[in-house]
A and B are shown apart, each in its own frame.
Chain A
């Protein structure tokens, strides 16, 4: 897949505050739907993304522990908000505030996942960028992915404990500024 060959160019891309990026996946995280805003911002065509794993747009500066937490929450049927930097097909990157929720079938069982992404506020990103940099640095000190996730999760939990907040409270201490805008 061409995602593995994409090198980040450092070019940042964004989208309008009144737009939302939407993707839907199956239970394994393979993309089943992508809206036009996603296709424009990620620089992929619809044919290129349908059926592909959502990790297609994973940016190397994105801590694995955040994705681990995300999967843990949505598999339990809970929603989660997360600041995420994604990698576009042309090497550009774009920040989003992702709201990921499970989609339930008629019997209430989880049949897939749904992600709405909004453009994040700059004040929130000023807090997130250094945090993610420290988390990815911690992960790069480990050779095995499982060890990397364990180490960065411990660092994230320690940082949150220092601030006396849960992950949810931390994200909302930043996202609350978006709601007030």
Chain B
């Protein structure tokens, strides 16, 4: 049985409407996919750029970021947090290094002044003064070594070697102890 002309026209109109609706929905779906990818790329680039400039407060917003995009965004946020922690620790280490250098300089200056005062009081030509001079030279060398290492003046090699610094400090302590023993005449 064939359709009447009016029914055929109505069927074609209904079919065209369904097709238009489906095409519109398909277009929205495609646009949603492109929009999400675009948003992800812009956010990823901007949040990493900010982190590289030390602006760690700029996060990757997770709102509106679904599925595997969200997983990747969370990973970027974790990396940003780790970078912020590293930057904080580096800044604190720098502050501690400068404090240590200042303290060391002050200590060396104090010791040098005290030694100069002892030399002046004891006169010259005695074996004790020779011992004191040698000891002070050793102490000075050690102190300079530590200061250079702490300041990173050796290219940072010794600055990275905590054990080396500790050894030098221990030798300096032993030299000071020896110096004091000599000074006491024991």
Interface residues of A (CB under 8 A from B): 17-20, 22, 35-36, 79, 97, 99, 101, 114, 116, 118-119, 168-169, 172-173, 175-176, 178-179, 181
Contact = CB atoms under 8 A, between A and B. Distances in A.
A101 B35 contact: no
A138 to B, nearest CB: 27
A172 B57 contact: yes
B64 A18 contact: yes
Given A35-B32, A36-B28, A116-B39, 14 more contacts: A17-B64, A18-B66, A19-B64, A20-B39, A35-B35, A79-B42, A101-B46, A116-B42, A118-B63, A118-B64, A168-B57, A176-B57, A176-B59, A179-B62
A20 B42 contact: no
B43 interface: yes
Interface in B62-106: 62-64, 66, 77
A179 B60 contact: yes
Contacts of B77: 179
Contacts of A114: 38, 42
B35 A181 contact: no
Contacts of B35: 20, 22, 35, 116
B64 A175 contact: no
B26 to A, nearest CB: 12
B56 to A, nearest CB: 10
Interface in B1-42: 28, 31-32, 35-36, 38-39, 42
Contacts of A17: 63-64
Classify chain B: how many residues form its interface, as a range.
Answer: 20 to 34
Contacts, number: 64
B58 interface: yes
B60 A168 contact: no
Contacts of B39: 20, 22, 99, 116
B31 A179 contact: no
Interface in B97-135: none
B178 interface: no
A172 B28 CA distance: 31
Nearest to A169: B57
Given A19-B64, A35-B35, A178-B63, A168 B42 contact: no
Contacts of B57: 168-169, 172-173, 176
Nearest to B70: A18
B29 to A, nearest CB: 9
B149 to A, nearest CB: 37
Nearest to B38: A114
A173 B59 CA distance: 11
Given A118-B64, A168-B55, A175-B59, A99 B43 contact: yes
A91 B131 CA distance: 94
A178 B61 CA distance: 7
Nearest to A179: B59
